[in-house]
Structures are given as C-alpha cells and as structure tokens.
Amino acid sequence: MNKHQETTSVHAGHEIDPATGALSAPIHLSTTFERHPTGDYPLGFQYSRLENPNRAALEDKMAALEFGTQAAAFASGSAAAMTVFQALRPGDHLLLPNDMYFGIRKLIREVFIPWGLEAAFVDMTDLDGIQNRVQTNTTLILVETPSNPLLKVTDIHAVVEIARQVGAWVLCDNTVATPVLQHPLPLGADLSLHATTKYLGGHSDVLGGVLVARQESELWERIRFLQQNGGAVPSPFECWLTVRGIHTLPYRVRTQANNALRVARFLKDHPQVERVYYPGLEDHPGHQVAAGQMTGFGGLLSFQVKGGQSRAMHAAAELRLITQATSFGGTNSLIEHRASIEEPGTTTPENLLRLSIGLEHPNDLIDDLNQALNGS
Ligand SMILES: *Cc1c(COP(=O)(O)O)cnc(C)c1O
C-alpha cells in the first residue's frame, strides 16, 4: 500500500475514530465488549486479553512496517522472547548468538534449558561454524543483528539458507536496527522481535515487545495462543504510547544513526579510547554485511576505554549531558558500563561502555565525551 516508511509509520493501523471524528485514537480501557443477540462479536472484540482496539492498532502498524502478515504485542520485549521459547517443545535444539541481550540469555540458561530445550551459543558471524552446529532437531536459530552490546553483524539471509536445510525457523531480534534500517522478514527470517521499549516507544516511558510473522505457520499459531491465553499483553495505554512513538520513528532513528557515526568517528581518534564498535565504521568486521542488509547503521555503539574497568567507569561518571542509565533508543543519550550489570562470567569486556545516541546535537555529545575522557 504505502511505499515509504515515514508514511507507513504515521498511517498504518490508524483510522479516524468513526464515533467522534477524533484524529488521535481513543484509549479503550474496557476489558469486555458487547455480544450481539445472534451470539457473535461483529466488531471483532470480545475480551481485552484476547484483543483490544489499541493493541490491534499497534499490531497492524508493526506488521506493515516489517512487511509481515501478522504481529503480536506483549508487555515487554522479554515477554515476547519468552513466548517464542514457550512455543517450542522439550527436546528442540536452538542456536543462539554468543553475543546477545543478556536478559534473554539468562532466561534460556535458567528456565528453558532446565525445562528441556537444548541450546548452543555460537558466533553468528561465522557461517561455517553455524553450519557445523545445526542438528536434525534444530528448530530455531536466533540472530540478533547488530548485537547488543558488541554490535556484531550477522548475515540474515545466509543464516536463513542454513536454517532451511534442516527446516528450522529463524527469529531475528531487530531491536537495535529497527524497521527503519533493516527488514529481516523479506530477507527470509520467519519472525522478527522488537523490544518496543527502545526505539519504537522512543521516549523511555513505556515497556513493550512485539513479534512479527512473515507468514502464518504452526509456530505462529502457538505464539498467538500463548499471547491470548498466557496473557503477557500490554495495556491499552501502553499500546497507545507505543503507537504515538512510532509516528516519528523514521526521523528519530535516521538522525540518531547519522549522529552515532559522527560520535563513533570522534571516539575512534580519541587517545583515551582503545576500540570502537560501530558497524558504520569502515574497519568494523561486519561493515560490508551491514551495508548490504541495512539502510543505516543505527544509534547504538560501544567503546573500550584505555586503562581498564575503573577508568571506563570514571569516564562514565564524569559525563554531564549523557546520563548513566541502562536501556537505549530514547531522546536522551545514555551510557552504561555493561559488564557490571550483566551476569557473572559475561564475555563483555570490563572496560566497555555502551552509548545510546539520543536526539541532542552531536557536537554537544562530542564535547561532553571529550571532557569526560580527558578528565578521567
Ligand atoms: C531490551 C532488549 C530486550 C528486552 O526487552 P524488555 O522490554 O526490556 O524486556 C530484548 N532484546 C534486545 C536486543 C534488547 O535490547
């Protein structure tokens, strides 16, 4: 229908309220909806755990933005990921990235492996390695690209081809890239996952998660069943806030990506910086793959500070404009010492800081980083 992401972001799933003419969608708090004398629900809504008008608007918008056929919204990105694993069967084998969002890795290790899933953590940038690790009972390969926090880049289409040999599904965590910069489903992935808490909500004020399906499948039916019957769904107001955030998504993300490249180039030349991880830099090992499957390199980057963990933490503490806080994707730039919040034994380097570029002017961010690094 609409060709351009900016237009889809505003218009998909949106209609003028037929009852009042309101441009901004009403928030439907009602948990229950009237049944027709014939016994039907002609307007499509019955009970809010099953479906709600605000949730339907969010799901329709996400399906359109990701070129999927259906979407399912959840109360958090983690709840969305949990639902995929719950939809699998004990004895199923999973391949997961060795650099990935640590909360999901924790759920796999502490809940789903004891529950009967088999899981192997592999380097998703090494296609031969993936090929060697798939088994006949591999049912799902999860890719996260760019990954959090090391910004590793995985070739989505190449992983899809390996997965198809054994009939495995591919789930792509597209949170860092957003639908503005990367479309996993046209590349062949079966599902894309978003923590809408990050760029889609975009203002650090609403948690949420969404799964989008390329097409209907047995797996999708189980996911929808778990969403509607398990009930880890977002409230109408949370859906409304996320939809409101998506209206400006393409403009925010492109600005954040442009500014992240400027900050990454500045950090790369700074004498106190050991290494910068940003796929937009030409010497990033995943730069070519990223350039081939993304239309920009995103607003998230990481860097290692010379002198170890204490120098890195000190530099973060010296920042005035950039806030030390977890999460990313909002209007305010955030920095985080990642190893100290991840679980013990994490592979994240101890002197690594992850930086989420907000919507401030990039020169002000560069000045702030410069004073903090020089003073540390
Ligand atoms: C934050 C995040 C999640 C989890 O989302 P929550 O809404 O915090 O539960 C999943 N994947 C990635 C890549 C994330 O950054």
198 a catalytic residue? yes
Residue 350: per-residue pLDDT: 95
Containing 171, the helix (H) or strand (E) segment is: strand 169-173
101 a catalytic residue? yes
* pLDDT digits (tens), the chain, 376 positions: 457 999 999 999 999 999 999 999 999 999 999 999 999 999 999 999 999 999 999 999 999 999 999 999 999 999 999 999 999 999 999 999 998 999 999 999 999 999 999 999 999 999 999 999 999 999 999 999 999 999 999 999 999 999 999 999 999 999 999 999 999 999 999 999 999 999 999 999 999 999 999 999 999 999 999 999 999 999 999 999 999 999 999 999 999 999 999 999 999 999 999 999 999 999 999 999 999 999 999 999 999 999 999 999 999 999 999 999 999 999 999 999 999 888 777 889 999 999 999 999 999 999 999 999 998 5
Domain 5-246 has CATH 3.40.640.10: yes
CB contact set of 139 (below 8 Å; sequence gap of 6+): 88, 89, 92, 93, 94, 167, 168, 169
The one-character DSSP state at 109 is I
- Catalytic, out of 55, 152, 198, 338: 198
Residue 342: per-residue pLDDT: 81
164 a catalytic residue? no
Assign domain 250-374 to its CATH architecture. Alpha-Beta Complex (3.90)
92 Cβ closer than 6 Å to some ligand 1 atom: no
Q: Tokens in use for 111?
A: 């809940």
Ligand 1 test: best mutation among 124, 175, 238, 336, most atoms within 8 Å of CB? 175
Residue 242: per-residue pLDDT: 98
Strand partners, 101: none
Residue 376: per-residue pLDDT: 54
- Catalytic, out of 49, 244, 268, 275: 49
Residue 341: per-residue pLDDT: 86
C-alpha 177 – ligand 1 centre gap (Å): 13
Ligand 1 test: best mutation among 74, 198, 338, 341, most atoms within 8 Å of CB? 198
Residue 298: per-residue pLDDT: 98
- Catalytic, out of 99, 173, 190, 368: 173
CB contact set of 294 (below 8 Å; sequence gap of 6+): 177, 181, 182, 279
C-alpha 122 – ligand 1 centre gap (Å): 20
Question: How far is it, in rounded angstroms, from Cα 103 to Cα 116?
Answer: 19
99 Cβ closer than 6 Å to some ligand 1 atom: no
197 Cβ closer than 6 Å to some ligand 1 atom: yes
Residue 286: per-residue pLDDT: 97
In the chain, domain spans = 5-246, 250-374
Residue 155: per-residue pLDDT: 98
